[in-house]
Structure 1
Amino acid sequence: MIDLKSAPELKALEPKLNQFFDLAKTKITAIDAEYDNSKGSPVFTVEGKYTTRGWTEWTEGFRYGISVLHFDATGDESSLKSGRDQTVSKMATHVSHIGVHDHGFNNLSTYGNLRRLMLEGRIPDNEWEKNFYELAIKVSGAVQAARWTERQGGGFIHSFNGPHSLFVDTIRSCRILMVAHRLGHVLMGEGDKPINLLERALQHIESTAKYSVFYGEGRDSYDERGRTTHEAIFNTKDGAYRCPNSQQGYTGFSTWTRGQAWAIVGFAEELELLKEFSDEELAPFGGRSEIEAMMLKAATATADHCIENTPVCGIPYWDTGAPKLHLLGDYMDRPADPYNAYEPVDSSAAAISAQGMLRLGHYLMAKGDSAVAEKYIDAGLKMSDSLFAEPYLSTDPKHHGLILHSIYHEPNGWDHKPESGKAAYGESSMWGDYHAMELAVYLQRLIKKAPYYTFFA
């Protein structure tokens, strides 16, 4: 399990963050100069250079979001210009994209961060520019909410696999519905029926908590508290839940660690948002106590499982049930080995989980539960300490990536293997780099006692 006792003090991370931000400038410039945009969105690196993968265009917003967040951290105007100009020129199709469940990834990383910076006074206030960002968020939130499947007792935003499919990832797309709702927007349906975006977001979060997360309550023979499944399958004829499944994990009965990471950060962020809603606004959907209890149960369960099933350094292997892990021996009692012969690690899962751990700890600390809060804060700090140092920090200026040893799709064999007889290693992903940047900005603001960074500004 993660060695919480060796977690650093928050302030001790500052030199590593500064090095990370310096490296990020080199990588942003290199990608802008060298990447062939005609090939589509950059997804992951092969031999150190970003390449695409024709599945869905779910990573483009991360690319420009990295530039915007680099400005957030450093004040570098050229990074702001790169992120802002490319958001304006290239992101419109993502706002109206009806075929994906990734709006919260693409559009909050770009339009959302730019709007937040304007509200914080970090970029000049311009009413028309702010209206542009807000219109994009409103439309994106409504389009995402329209990707809807009714289930028995609720509903969910279905994945690009089809109306039967609930992905654990999509909890992070609920953010775009929440922001659009807070901007006063609704989805208009047939017969001019207004559809409440807050209601849809909360129903999706509940579906994720109920069907994507396990609690050790005997749901199946592999039910461990905090385990997650990548995909939950439903019968679209009657809305009944059928079974767990996995696309990018090993099986529906093991935990794909990046999927679990999405759950950890997703529930933690939505818990932070709850305080922004009045009791009256939450009452029609079960009330504050019921909603908070549901989210907190899922957040703590997934975070605890992650802590208990990750090596001491805080960097997980790609799936807790990966079939060759046993060949690594006592792999949980030593730092993860990205160069091993059997199973890859996934640094992107660490980048995502670390932010979730820190946010969950911050939330619980504010609630007065300091003893439990410190566990999650220490976990987040330990994961960050490992992530922003070699062998995970990409210090080679010729390598496009920021964080090494990220895995995209192990079952499909999409990840580059530089050596025969070894697991995939040495490459980066656009989502891993973005979430490392997001984590770094979050930590920097805590260190500097700057305004607390949230997606809802």
Structure 2
Amino acid sequence: MKRKVSGVWYVLAGLLFLNSCKTSQRTETATWLEKSVKTATHQLTRASEEYSPGMNPRSVEPDGSVRLAPANDWTTGFFPGSLWLGYEISGKKVLKQQAERFTLALDTIKDFKYTHDLGFMLFCSYGNAYRITRDKKYLPVLRNGAANLYSRYNEKVGSIRSWDFGEWQYPVIIDNMMNLELLYWASDKFKKPVYARAAESHAMNSLRDHYREDHSSYHVVSYDTLSGKPVIKETHQGYGDETAWARGQAWGLYGFSMSYKNTGEKKFIEQAEHIARFIMNHPRLPKDKIPYWDYDAPDIPGAPRDASAAAITASALLELSTQVKDGSKYFAFAEDILKSLSSDIYLARPDSAHFFILNHSVGALPNNSEVDTPINYADYYFLEALDRYARLKNIDLKKI
């Protein structure tokens, strides 16, 4: 005789099953997330004790020595910025103290006028310092830095000049999209609307001139300063002029999502989604979603991976997921990237890699510079992505 099972029991069984699935998912998330946060906090703490303010860790050389970044190096703001993010994530007061020490050592950057990278150099360091502490002592440097960045804007071209070297007449690189954030912020903070107008014009030009029909990006566009028209398009740090350099695609994705956040311009969010689709659907993207240094590198699958491009992409996708109605696909893709970066392949072991957090990034392979090595901006955007992820999941990282 068959026993009848009450419908109530089916419901209870279903609820128990769903609850066990949720518990399993929470456990899985806690495992990789906790591992990454604890490793990052440990490495940052040790690094802050190992290195001296003003000469910040940039990468690891082929001979195993550390490449240090002085104040005039474009990457110099990432390590202090990572310390601020590490403090924000962990709540460890020692990281706050060290973040302040390493940030204040970059005071001289406020007078630099010869670089477009003032956003990287100052907004990652002083910008995070002010955002987290609201201490006004950080504002004068940010004010001067924004004014100097704006001074590189050319009205005829409608863009901010990137490099002051080379034979280009007026070079603008896709990386420069990232430095616009300092101008957007400073425009509001210091009541300088011309800063925001310049930033928006620059973004519009990059949208129009840097992108191909498939929504991949050139690295460099050089303009004629008399006509304001582009005359050269190339990919200086990629495999070839018509290839898709991975970090360049990540810079663009991040930059257009950030520009949309600051302007509400519909074209910017549309472009961010175009770039996201290019990256997410690329046939040569590996299964773990950590791209090769160039999507068109000739030696795939033997080409070096670029964890920095992956970390930037993950952070950008998490932001993008909050800006569109169907953002869940971007969140899920970013989550997969973070899980991969949290694996033993990419996440450094505690006390290894000269206290960097991520292994396997690529700086400028055509110049044989920083190939398959830890790099400080990979760490910075990885930390930012972990923080964004936790906020969206309503996870208090200080308690894991």
TM-score range, shorter chain: 0.7 to 0.9
Deviations for 1:199-233, whole angstroms, at most 9, x for unmatched residues? 1110111111111222x2xxxxxxxx220111111
Residue among 342, 359, 369 paired with 2:319: 359
> TM-score by structure 2 length?
0.85
The CA RMSD measured in Å over matched residues stands at 2.5
Displacement, 1:355? Answer: 1.0
Q: Distance in 1 between matches of 2:29 and 2:211?
A: 32
Q: Distance in 1 between matches of 2:52 and 2:140?
A: 29
Q: Describe the shift of the 1:103–1:11 C-alpha distance in structure 2 as closer, same or farther (beyond 3 A).
A: farther
Q: Does 1:27 align with 2:25?
A: no
Query: 1:394 corresponds to which residue?
Result: 348
Aligned length, in residue pairs: 368
List aligned pairs for 1:103-252, cutoff 5 A.
103-119=118-134, 130-151=135-156, 154-161=158-165, 164-186=170-192, 196-214=194-212, 216=213, 225-252=214-241
SS at match of 1:51: strand
Instruction: Decide whether the 8 Å contact of 1:213 with 1:298 is kept in 2.
Output: no
Query: 1:256 corresponds to which residue?
Result: 245
Q: Does 1:96 align with 2:111?
A: yes
Instruction: Decide whether the 8 Å contact of 1:42 with 1:59 is kept in 2.
Output: no
Deviations for 1:144-181, whole angstroms, at most 9, x for unmatched residues? 111123445x3334334466101101111100001111
Instruction: Decide whether the 8 Å contact of 2:116 with 2:152 is kept in 1.
Output: yes
Answer 1 or 2: higher relative contact order, Cα 8 Å, separation at least 6: 1
The runs of 5 or more residues in structure 1 that have no matched partner are 1-7, 120-129, 187-194, 217-224, 275-287, 329-339, 416-423, 451-457
Residue among 280, 301, 312 paired with 1:307: 280
Q: Does 1:446 align with 2:386?
A: no
Q: Does 1:72 align with 2:88?
A: yes
Q: Distance in 2 between matches of 1:10 and 1:267?
A: 32
> TM-score by structure 1 length?
0.75
Instruction: Decide whether the 8 Å contact of 2:41 with 2:86 is kept in 1.
Output: yes
Q: Distance in 2 between matches of 1:56 and 1:305?
A: 34
Displacement, 1:48? Answer: 5.5
Q: Which amino acid aligns with 1:382?
A: D
Query: 2:75 corresponds to which residue?
Result: 59
Instruction: Decide whether the 8 Å contact of 2:83 with 2:96 is kept in 1.
Output: yes
Instruction: Decide whether the 8 Å contact of 2:44 with 2:83 is kept in 1.
Output: yes
Residue among 293, 313, 337 paired with 2:266: 293
Query: 1:454 corresponds to which residue?
Result: none
Q: Which amino acid aligns with 2:250?
A: A
Q: Which amino acid aligns with 2:218?
A: T
Q: Describe the shift of the 1:147–1:81 C-alpha distance in structure 2 as closer, same or farther (beyond 3 A).
A: same
Q: What is the percentage of aligned positions where both structures have the same residue?
A: 23
Deviations for 1:294-326, whole angstroms, at most 9, x for unmatched residues? 20222111111111222221100001121222x
Residue among 331, 340, 348 paired with 1:377: 331
Q: Which amino acid aligns with 1:268?
A: S
Instruction: Decide whether the 8 Å contact of 2:80 with 2:103 is kept in 1.
Output: yes
Displacement, 1:106? Answer: 1.6
Instruction: Decide whether the 8 Å contact of 1:358 with 1:376 is kept in 2.
Output: yes
Q: Does 1:428 align with 2:382?
A: no
Instruction: Decide whether the 8 Å contact of 2:318 with 2:388 is kept in 1.
Output: no
Q: Distance in 2 between matches of 1:446 and 1:399?
A: 30
Instruction: Decide whether the 8 Å contact of 1:212 with 1:231 is kept in 2.
Output: yes
Query: 1:273 corresponds to which residue?
Result: 262
Q: Which amino acid aligns with 1:141?
A: A
Q: Describe the shift of the 1:50–1:13 C-alpha distance in structure 2 as closer, same or farther (beyond 3 A).
A: farther
Q: Which amino acid aligns with 2:361?
A: S
Q: Which amino acid aligns with 1:140?
A: G
Instruction: Decide whether the 8 Å contact of 1:149 with 1:164 is kept in 2.
Output: no
Q: Which amino acid aligns with 2:43?
A: K
Q: Distance in 2 between matches of 1:352 and 1:144?
A: 22
